[in-house]
Structure 1
Amino acid sequence: MKQANMKQFQPLLLLACGVFTALTGCGGTSGPKTVDVTGKVSLDGTPVDSGQIYFRAEDGSNTYATKIEKGAYEAKVTPGAKKIEIIGYRDIPGKFVEVNPGEKEPAREMFIPRQFNSDSTLSLNIGEDQSKLEENFELKTKG
């Protein structure tokens, strides 16, 4: 008898789920406006092969991060003034670390100077009216 009662409510339950989905939306474009920011990152003329780039809102409200791969990056970032921090990693020749017992991997080091990350003076202003922006960061430690 209880199973028969449950079957009576199944169509009502499906209808309620459909109404809820319609009211809450599905896959819409909610959220803050973002700009597609792309570019290249090099240090003293050599592309940064592996790393990360951070776009930190100057007011501290948000941070966007993305990978740097083979000297290039792509990110979706909200408009406004951003502080840029760049981190790069490279293998240390001849050095290895044991991450898991018996598994050796090349040891890596962070090689981008502090003036481009923790003490960065790099900045970028992304306009409200922009949908795409290309910004290259050609970092120089010499001359």
Structure 2
Amino acid sequence: MITLLGISGCFGGGESLPELANVTGTVTLDGSPLTGANVLFQPQQGKTAFAMTDENGKFELMYNQDTAGAVPGNYTVKVSKEKNPEEPGNNLVPPNYNENTTLKADVKSGEENDFQFDLTGK
């Protein structure tokens, strides 16, 4: 019996997930949907949530490859999109929305977390 318990402990489920909140949003650049942009929600500590915008500039954050959501809390938001994926470092999005971002988001538990980021290229 003890052996069976020991073995079952080795094959237990994967890591347990923290409390997650669904997070969606839209990104526009100069009034037009920003398609294929990377969106990162970075907390001061902990795991960064990520997404890619669709053809309408909409996104849904992912905690990991298989699980949607983000841990409730305050985030710095970074948005980037390469002009040409073959040439890294050619970002369409101005630095004040990525390396030097001024974007912030507060993800709340049990509430609708739908963010609108209206970026300008100037």
In structure 2, distance between residues paired with 1:45 and 1:140: 8
Q: Which has the higher helix share?
A: 1
**TM-score normalised by structure 1 residue count:** 0.64
The equivalent position to 1:35 in structure 2, one of 15, 21, 35, is 21
Q: CA RMSD in A?
A: 3.0
Q: Across the two proteins, how many residue pairs are aligned to each other?
A: 112
Q: Does 1:55 align with 2:41?
A: yes
Instruction: Note the alpha carbon deviations across 1:81-138, whole angstroms, 9 max, x for none.
Output: 000000023359xxxx6xxxxxxxxx674210000000001000112343x4111111
The aligned residue for residue 121 of structure 1 is 102
The aligned residue for residue 120 of structure 2 is 140
Shift of 1:25: 5.1
Q: Which has the higher strand share?
A: 1
Q: Does the CA-based 8 Å contact 1:55-1:84 persist in structure 2?
A: yes
The SS at the match of 1:141 is coil
Runs of 4+ in 1 over 6 A off after TM superposition: none
**Structure number with larger C-alpha Rg:** 1
The equivalent position to 1:79 in structure 2, one of 57, 72, 91, is 72
**Alignment-mate amino acid for residue 48 of structure 2:** T
The SS at the match of 2:100 is coil
Q: Does the CA-based 8 Å contact 2:93-2:121 persist in structure 1?
A: no
**Alignment-mate amino acid for residue 20 of structure 1:** S
The SS at the match of 1:110 is coil
Identity rate, percent: 23
The aligned residue for residue 53 of structure 2 is 68
The SS at the match of 2:99 is coil
Q: Does the CA-based 8 Å contact 1:116-1:122 persist in structure 2?
A: yes
> Which consecutive residues of structure 2, in runs of 5 or more, have no partner in the other structure?
62-68
Q: Does the CA-based 8 Å contact 1:38-1:74 persist in structure 2?
A: yes
The SS at the match of 2:53 is strand
In structure 2, distance between residues paired with 1:121 and 1:55: 12
In structure 2, distance between residues paired with 1:138 and 1:90: 19
The SS at the match of 2:8 is helix
The aligned residue for residue 110 of structure 1 is 91
Sort the Cα spacing of 1:91 and 1:24 in 2 relative to 1 into closer, same or farther, 3 A.
Answer: closer
**Alignment-mate amino acid for residue 122 of structure 1:** L
